[in-house]
Chains A and B, each alone.
Chain A
Amino acid sequence: MKSFLTLECLSKKFPGKKTDSDYVVFDDISYTIEKGEFVCIIGHSGCGKSTILNVLAGLDKPTTGYISMEGKEVVGSSLDRGVVFQNYSLLPWLTALKNVTFGVKARFPNKSKAEVEEHSLKYLQMVGLGENVNKKPSELSGGMRQRVSIARAFATHPKLLLLDEPFGALDALTRGNIQDELIKIWNETKQTVFMITHDVDEAILLADKIILMSNGPGACIAEEVLVNIPRPRERGKVIDDPGYYKIRKHLIKFLVERSSDFTGDKVRKSPITVDPTQDN
């Protein structure tokens, strides 16, 4: 069977500023994601995670290689691929509700005004923003803004949802609450999600698979780590799962000790799959 999303021999180079040689962010990456999977990607800052995400979103072109979604090549951005950026990217002159209807109108041009509003309110409700829908982003806290941004992305029913460190700027408590909202809304929609995070615990809580990216330049996907913890997961309970600390230990060891090992002839064209819960 053909995969939902295929990245084939993807590479991205930026023209070098002073030197003649190009800056190779990543080279020859191949990977596949199945429909309904929640995939998190972890790697050191600057290794090229956002670059991959922008290429997936169609906001940036790969230098070589291609991406296909449901058999069709990805060219340019599309409503089929919703994006949530780290800095929320809400339009500050619109209210929370208008920010969501902005997306819904674009997605469903045939819906009547009332239907658009109803649909948008439903998603704002889901992320717990019932009362504040008529406030402007500047009147909302960081957590609230990110909720609006998530509601906008889910409300447009993208086939693939791309999240770039969506909770990176939030404090731990707020982050936890929004993770709960995200799990709830994901349980209902079974979206395919590709999410960048630098928080190991967040990745284990949310993901089916965690992609480990080696350090750049010339980064590669070194490993694909399976999160073999049954769903539904709860923030307070996953940490009691016997596999949790095995996975956590594996991820942290990778980030601290091994992420810089994959250079030269050690670059992996295709990642190995690891299930830390099965190791001893």
Chain B
Amino acid sequence: MSSLNIKAAFLSIVILFVGLALWEVFNQAPKATEELDEFALLMGGEDKEARVPPPSKVFKHAYKELSDPFYDAGPNDKGIGIQLFYSLVRVLIGFGAAAAIAIPLGFVIGMSELMYKALNPFIQILKPISPLAWMPLALFIIKDSEKSAVFVIFICSIWPMLLNTAFGVSNVRKDWIKVAQTHELSKLKTAFCVILPASAPTIFTGMRISIGIAWLVIVAAEMLVGGTGIGYYVWNEWNNLDLNSVIFSIIMIGLVGMTLDLILNALSRLVVYEE
């Protein structure tokens, strides 16, 4: 097993370096054979094809950005750390509010067939709506772009947690419920001492899916509402034609998303059990 891990890590590193090398080699700007006018220079020299910056330049840029991630030089020039922080705060507020509603509501739906049947049509209609489709309505009602972005995160996080909680709760093994009954546990105690621990792994799976979706959606939402955040940052750098920054922030979005997932995965390890 561990030798497999070592081989896999080695292979990952090889793939990384081969990928970077190819990227580097195929994206060199051609040598100018004659003096170019200013416009040609701007358009990438003689070569009319679009080129992304090679990794060496991106890394140089990343190093510069990461050595001072929290600088703040006005509304259009903030460090990547600050932008990521804004996005994370929005995601956490939206996700937290969604969890606070979805998990108790999911519990009720999972416990009561009546509630499940009554609410299911609404859930089925609301769930497939792209969270961004809510944005205009949110902007109109809330009248605040910042809060509207949080609302969009809230809406997109709620469904996986709601459905997973309901599914987990309704599928708790009947035997365990019988154990609670034969021990004369009250309804509330049964919910907390048996149903909650029994369904916790499923609930955590829902939370993991939700935070993943929230992180996907926040980038798009911030591109729409602007102002601050990593989504706005990417769009702003694209407008500045600073592809180094665009690539750098794409990588950062991936790293932060992965970290969020790892954190929830680690938390869910605390509640999983083997049957």
Which A residues form the contact surface with B (CB < 8 A)? Answer: 57-59, 76-79, 81-83, 85, 87, 89, 91-93, 102-103, 106-107, 136-138, 156
Contact = CB atoms under 8 A, between A and B. Distances in A.
Contacts of B183: 79, 102-103, 106-107, 156
B34 interface: no
A136 B274 contact: yes
A107 B185 CA distance: 10
Interface string B221-242: 0000000000000000000000
A156 to B, nearest CB: 7
A156 B274 CA distance: 26
B275 interface: yes
B184 A89 contact: no
Most buried by A among B185, B198, B275: B275
Contact of B185 (A59, A106, A138): A106
B194 interface: yes
Contacts of B185: 106
A82 to B, nearest CB: 7
B67 interface: no
Contact of B178 (A76, A79, A85, A107): A85
A89 B175 contact: yes
A59 B182 CA distance: 8
Contacts of A58: 181-182
A138 B273 CA distance: 8
Given A77-B181, A92-B274, 19 more contacts: A57-B182, A58-B182, A76-B181, A78-B184, A79-B182, A79-B184, A83-B178, A85-B175, A85-B178, A89-B175, A89-B178, A91-B194, A91-B197, A93-B198, A102-B193, A106-B183, A138-B273, A138-B275, A156-B183
Contacts of A89: 175-176, 178-179
Nearest to A76: B181
Contact of A92 (B181, B184, B193, B273): B273
A228 B83 CA distance: 84
Contacts of A136: 273-274
Interface residues of B, number: 18
Given A83-B178, A89-B175, A89-B178, A77 B184 contact: yes
29 contacts: A57-B182, A77-B181, A77-B184, A78-B182, A78-B184, A79-B183, A79-B184, A81-B182, A82-B182, A83-B182, A89-B175, A91-B176, A91-B179, A91-B194, A91-B197, A92-B274, A92-B275, A93-B198, A93-B271, A102-B183, A106-B183, A106-B185, A107-B183, A136-B273, A137-B275, A138-B273, A138-B274, A138-B275, A156-B183
Contacts, number: 54
Interface of A, secondary structure class, is loop
A123 to B, nearest CB: 15
Contacts of B178: 59, 77, 83, 85, 89
Contacts of B184: 77-79, 106
Contacts of A78: 182, 184
Interface string B250-275: 00000000000000000000010111
10 nearest A-B residue pairs (beta carbon): A138-B274, A93-B273, A106-B183, A89-B175, A77-B181, A92-B273, A77-B182, A93-B197, A83-B182, A92-B275
A221 B111 CA distance: 38
Most buried by B among A59, A78, A89, A137: A89
